[in-house]
Structure 1
């Protein structure tokens, strides 16, 4: 009975949903009694997930269990929640240890198990994987371009706007923000506030070039290649079906001619 229960996807989904609601509610201000009840429920579900893990180890064997990528994913997420369980059992939360915050955050990852129950998720993941492979060189090229522009901007404006371009890391973040068309006009306005009209003019031209080349054309190119690669599987399937249909039609026409 226990084995069947923990092999039932609907039961596991129910536990994941309850766990997600528990974690959500624990973020609100409440009495110590209610907070303890939520923590107890959360850690009890972790125990049930560990029980599920043990049951599936016995059912499939350790090697058989790890043959499935989803079960590997489940194992990682369950393992990440164990330190929080240990902290709860050992009553470590009464101490002021900073690493306990990490334990509490890690338990949230259990909710990611909900992903595998989304209809068509495997097809979506395959599409994303295919899109990443197809656009990897475009991504690398775009990152290199951001890096070059950020270094150039650092040397040009580090003295004028140290809060945005004071060091290469700040410059990289500011450049990325401009590429996403976020603050693309505010930052040039701040930089040109105390500059001469001629210098301001060329500064504006520089940022217009950056926005057009990176923010408009650059991101559009990356997005179009990524999306095209994601849907290419559907196009390939349709092309194969059309080819098979054409072959069947050709055979029928050939038979009719012989008759």
Structure 2
């Protein structure tokens, strides 16, 4: 019974120590270094010559790193318990490590290639990368209207291109699907002159009147709208973090001031009591 009570008393203390350990800067730097080392080993495994010379060593290193990542994850779960599973980044790390432990033989051999997902743990370990990902996720609702606008533009332009160039360039614009795919290639500016515009102009000299406005709108306007939404999201998150930090600092200052005021009031009360006692002793002597 006493041993059980002692274990209950020691558990919170041990959990607090583990929490301080896994959140310390040195520990995070070590985890980051291990992730980078794992990225290098996974890249080297793609080389046949390297695997022939150092294959067993790389496999042992990969297994050791997986065990270390699993131990680090277990420490975090022990330290934070339920809070770990309420953290999206904790769930992300758990899924990545869980996929790495999945069997990779037989029909599941494709899962072996998913080991490289462990490198993505840098997103949860490096604060700057985590902030960028959070900003991108926060920007998704704002991108909905832009995606709808782009889809509408591709549909209208695809129908027009099919009607204008379908007969002369059936491989590029023969169907609506082909036209949309060609327009997507046109938006990326990949071989747009030699593969798309020049063949179209051989049959339709005024084709530039269609292609140039499409390129300007899709490539230089719509894509910049995406960038603008993401930049605004990053700025908004930064301002919210700075505001939260300022409020936390102000709350800490107010708490310290309140504690100091309470201490001063208690000290003044004790001084008054002492004065009353001194006055009472003087009255008894007289």
Q: What is the TM-score when the length of structure 1 is the normalising length?
A: 0.70
Equivalent position to 2:72, from 52, 68, 72: 52
Q: How far, CA to CA, are the matches of 2:192 and 2:149 in structure 1?
A: 22
SS in 2 for 1:66: helix
Q: How far, CA to CA, are the matches of 1:236 and 1:64 in structure 2?
A: 22
- Residues 1:217 and 2:221 aligned together: yes
Equivalent position to 1:104, from 94, 108, 112: 112
Alignment of structure 1 residues 8-157 onto 2, 5 Å: 8-30=27-49, 31-32=51-52, 34-61=54-81, 63-83=82-102, 86-87=103-104, 92=105, 99-100=108-109, 102-157=110-165
Equivalent position to 1:206, from 204, 210, 218: 210
Q: What displacement does 1:182 show? A: 3.2
Call closer, same or farther: CA 1:164–1:35 in 2, change over 3 Å: farther
Q: What displacement does 1:45 show? A: 1.7
Root-mean-square deviation (CA), in Å? 3.3
Please say which of residues 223-232 and 41-50 is displaced more in the overlay: 223-232
Q: Which has the higher contact order (CA 8 A, sep 6+)?
A: 1
Q: How far, CA to CA, are the matches of 2:161 and 2:208 in structure 1?
A: 13
Corresponding residue of 1:189: 198
Are 2:123 and 2:133, in contact at CA under 8 Å, matched by a contact in 1? no
SS in 2 for 1:219: helix
Q: What is the TM-score when the length of structure 2 is the normalising length?
A: 0.64
Call closer, same or farther: CA 1:236–1:4 in 2, change over 3 Å: closer
Q: How far, CA to CA, are the matches of 1:115 and 1:226 in structure 2?
A: 17
Q: What displacement does 1:77 show? A: 0.9
Q: What displacement does 1:138 show? A: 2.0
Q: How far, CA to CA, are the matches of 2:212 and 2:144 in structure 1?
A: 27
Are 1:164 and 1:170, in contact at CA under 8 Å, matched by a contact in 2? yes
Q: What displacement does 1:167 show? A: 4.0
